[in-house]
Structure 1
Amino acid sequence: MGDLYGAMVKGLGYVVLAALAGAAPAAWSQVAIEELSAEHRTLGDHTEFRFPLVRGDTETARRINTWLQVSLLERFPGGPGETPFDAVWPREGEWTGVTYLDYQLVTNAMGFLSIVFNGEYTGAYPSAFSQSYQFETRTGRPLFLATLFTEDGVKELQGRVDAMQVHDIDAFLQAAQPNGLDQEEAKIQADLYRECRENVRTGLYDEREWQLRADALVMTRGCGFPHAVRALDDLGIEESRFDYDTLAPWLSEYGRCLLVEKRADCPPPQPGYQGVFMGEMDGRFPVTLVLGAWSGPAWYAYDKYKVPIRLHREASRDGALVLTRRDEGETTETFTLRWTGDGDLVGRWQRPGRPPLPVHLH
């Protein structure tokens, strides 16, 4: 989706539809959700795009909204454009771009928010995608399996799901399938499932879609057949459900506090190498940095302008995080940052030939 940045669709307004997701938030564990909505004029009749927006001017709301919009819309909240979808929509009269986008609020309770997006991207041909996001609602930080589980716990969970998928594929291949396929189609189907099984066994499917439900973690598994032969995927997408008590031995201290004990006083997880970081450059210029979003390794914006600037992540230099902006192959600015003990990022920003400016983000 990175090649879509900057695409503009003229003459389209957007509507903000105020609608609370679920019950009104009575505690810190829920957030209020509004809806961003717009119709694309050239994609067909009533092609409506829908996107959630966490209401409020808090760091929690800013982090969640920034992470989602940078990941899926390649924009910072409130940035330029006639609609929130300008950067990813196809240009007028063209088809390349995101041609469908909608969301479902999975869970908005017990200290975490879980949202799944379903969409379609059209390049050479349409390609459907589904992407889930989870957030801790006290800080707005994104949640990952590595946040909630111990290192061994993540391996155990993924191993269980891998074993389920291999079992399903083996059972399918061993059974006589009266599915109406001709000989060539049946061979293609069997070869694709064998390839999928081998990929699972060798760990190539180490990143799976997962969601936090009110009482269980659900992880999806599937083989992702190519678009041209998707109709041959009889197994499709299946779900593996694990209730939180079952997961307890694999969870980190933070994961148990949040998911099993359902406490409101869980110490925030230590920030990792992914997330939204806010602060100042030279103590004068408020900036927001996004690391590890779905749309690319790093983006930042000056809070005053909210124009997204794409950064490249370079090889670490003595443990420092190095991010560069490039223009026609030349580096035009560089962030060199280090992690502090409390999870902040401190360092410097510099343009070639100019003095560096200090940076402090949290």
Structure 2
Amino acid sequence: MKKQILFFLLISGLSFSQQKNLKIADLQPKSEDFAFPKVSYAEKPLIENKINTFLQVNQLEYIPDSVGSPSQLVSVGKTSYSNYVYFYGWEKLETPKNILSIAINGEASGAYPEGFDIWKNFDLRTGNLINSKDLFQPNSIKTVEGLIQKNIKKEVNDFLAALRSEKDPSEEVLDQIAIYEDCFTNFTLDGIEYYFAKNKIRFIAGRCSNHAMRALDELGSHVVEFPYKDLDKYWSPYAKNLLSDSEKVDKTSLDNKLYRGKIDGKYPITVLIDKVYDDGSFSAKYWYDKNKKLIEWNGKLKGNHISIIENDYYSEETNQWIFRALVEADLQGNKISGTWQDHKTKKYLKLELEEL
């Protein structure tokens, strides 16, 4: 028993030591409506750069060190999703050595204001965002989703039973019963948030109520947690190495990765791939290092082949998007190679990218 305690203390100390030089501060300029995390990791500048680039492009649609304030688009609703977004705070969570988990909270204003909590998890060996589907063996994903769904259904059904047991239910209670009877509980890993704690993983699924009925929703978001050891038989090799503090990095999916390279061998660009859906469709953003302006890509991954459309503008006259370029490329290990074709001139330019 003493040996086990000493081993645990040693591992905890190593974990603390691994991250003691990693600092997080507020991205400047900070304001009442903008408190956003910026990572500093002096001993691993590439990791620092990748994490900050992902966070700022993904959440703010801002390229680090470009012109203007990082909050300039989200604060006035000029992002691609056209909502005002306010970031009120963040927290660095206690995690295993190889992982950085950051909790971010704020409010988004579309048709109505809605508070939000999100969690971003990074592999500190690579700087990549950790995708939930990479954590589990492919044939175990449905099983893990089933465990999450089972816990959520039990929470909802137990609360429903208590509400139904009231002998003379008020109108409010009847409304609550209606909310929970119609509650969606068949969440998949793609549809929920998650983060790593010291000895467990927590999944957070959306609440049962819509915005109009949320005041009656006493359960709120559903939190399901599992000690790491309880998922031992489902973890992928990547996850096992990640959680065991190993430096071995296994291959992971294309989702949420950063690439750098050149078009025509002379125009440096950086690319951020977004989520790749089950049908292979995905979106991406890229920018020329010289002018730092985001350009949208819409693509399809089939096997190792990637086809991408780069739109130029939307024509009101023809009611359709006008292409600017077409990309055909192949994914080869950590590289993407192919062509970028100018839609007007039909000229083909060589495209070469490598994962950061």
Q: Among 136, 143, 147, which residue is 1:160 paired with?
A: 147
CA distance in 2, matches of 1:213, 1:127: 26
Report the secondary structure of 2:160's partner residue. helix
Q: Are the equivalent residues in 2 in contact too, given 1:275–1:293 (CA < 8 A)? A: no
Cα offset for 1:142?
Answer: 1.1
Report the secondary structure of 2:86's partner residue. strand
CA distance in 2, matches of 1:232, 1:205: 27
Match of 1:249 in 2: 233
Q: Among 98, 105, 125, which residue is 1:138 paired with?
A: 125
Q: Are the equivalent residues in 2 in contact too, given 1:31–1:108 (CA < 8 A)? A: no
- Aligned: 1:323 with 2:306: no
1:66 is matched by which residue type in structure 2? Answer: T
Range that drifts further, 237-246 or 208-217: 237-246
Compared CA separation, residues 302 and 54, structure 1 to 2 (3 A): farther
Cα offset for 1:316?
Answer: 5.5
CA distance in 2, matches of 1:230, 1:33: 33
Cα offset for 1:217?
Answer: 0.8
Cα offset for 1:80?
Answer: 1.9
Cα offset for 1:213?
Answer: 1.4
Cα offset for 1:96?
Answer: 5.4
- Aligned: 1:200 with 2:200: no
Match of 2:162 in 1: 175
Runs of 5+ unmatched residues, structure 2: 1-13, 277-281, 315-320
- Aligned: 1:237 with 2:224: no
Q: Are the equivalent residues in 1 in contact too, given 2:257–2:272 (CA < 8 A)? A: yes
2:218 is matched by which residue type in structure 1? Answer: D
CA distance in 2, matches of 1:350, 1:339: 18
1:233 is matched by which residue type in structure 2? Answer: D
1:38 is matched by which residue type in structure 2? Answer: P
- Aligned: 1:355 with 2:355: no
CA distance in 1, matches of 2:237, 2:29: 42
Cα offset for 1:170?
Answer: 1.1
Q: Among 216, 222, 227, which residue is 2:211 paired with?
A: 227
CA distance in 1, matches of 2:35, 2:289: 26
Range that drifts further, 63-72 or 313-322: 313-322
CA distance in 1, matches of 2:162, 2:92: 38
Compared CA separation, residues 286 and 107, structure 1 to 2 (3 A): farther
Q: Are the equivalent residues in 1 in contact too, given 2:305–2:331 (CA < 8 A)? A: no
Cα offset for 1:119?
Answer: 1.2
Q: Are the equivalent residues in 2 in contact too, given 1:301–1:307 (CA < 8 A)? A: yes
Q: Among 9, 24, 32, which residue is 1:33 paired with?
A: 24
CA distance in 2, matches of 1:230, 1:163: 23
CA distance in 2, matches of 1:177, 1:193: 11
Q: Deviations over 1:163-222 (max 9, x none)?
A: 01111111111114799x9744333322221221xx324x57852110011221111234
Cα offset for 1:91?
Answer: 6.6
Match of 1:217 in 2: 201
Q: Are the equivalent residues in 1 in contact too, given 2:108–2:116 (CA < 8 A)? A: yes
**How does the TM-score come out when normalised to structure 2?**
0.80
Report the secondary structure of 2:172's partner residue. helix
Q: Deviations over 1:275-316 (max 9, x none)?
A: 21122222222211111169x821101122221112223586
CA distance in 2, matches of 1:247, 1:204: 16
Q: Are the equivalent residues in 1 in contact too, given 2:102–2:120 (CA < 8 A)? A: yes
1:330 is matched by which residue type in structure 2? Answer: I
Cα offset for 1:72?
Answer: 0.8
Match of 1:114 in 2: 101
**How does the TM-score come out when normalised to structure 1?**
0.79
% identical equivalent positions? 24
Q: Among 115, 124, 129, which residue is 1:128 paired with?
A: 115
Q: Among 58, 81, 86, which residue is 1:71 paired with?
A: 58
Q: Among 11, 30, 39, which residue is 1:53 paired with?
A: 39
- Aligned: 1:274 with 2:252: no
Q: Deviations over 1:127-164 (max 9, x none)?
A: 11222111111211111122121123322222111101
CA distance in 1, matches of 2:155, 2:268: 52
Compared CA separation, residues 182 and 227, structure 1 to 2 (3 A): farther
Match of 1:20 in 2: none
Q: Are the equivalent residues in 1 in contact too, given 2:263–2:269 (CA < 8 A)? A: yes
Structure 1 vs Structure 2 CA RMSD: 3.2
Q: Are the equivalent residues in 1 in contact too, given 2:330–2:338 (CA < 8 A)? A: yes
CA distance in 1, matches of 2:239, 2:134: 7
Report the secondary structure of 2:351's partner residue. strand
CA distance in 2, matches of 1:338, 1:133: 29
Match of 1:87 in 2: 73
Q: Matches of residues 282-361 of structure 1 in structure 2 within 5 Å?
A: 282-292=264-274, 297-313=283-299, 319-328=305-314, 329-340=321-332, 342-352=333-343, 353-361=345-353
Compared CA separation, residues 156 and 47, structure 1 to 2 (3 A): same
CA distance in 1, matches of 2:126, 2:66: 22
Q: Are the equivalent residues in 2 in contact too, given 1:222–1:238 (CA < 8 A)? A: yes
Q: Are the equivalent residues in 2 in contact too, given 1:336–1:348 (CA < 8 A)? A: yes
Compared CA separation, residues 112 and 343, structure 1 to 2 (3 A): same
CA distance in 1, matches of 2:260, 2:95: 24
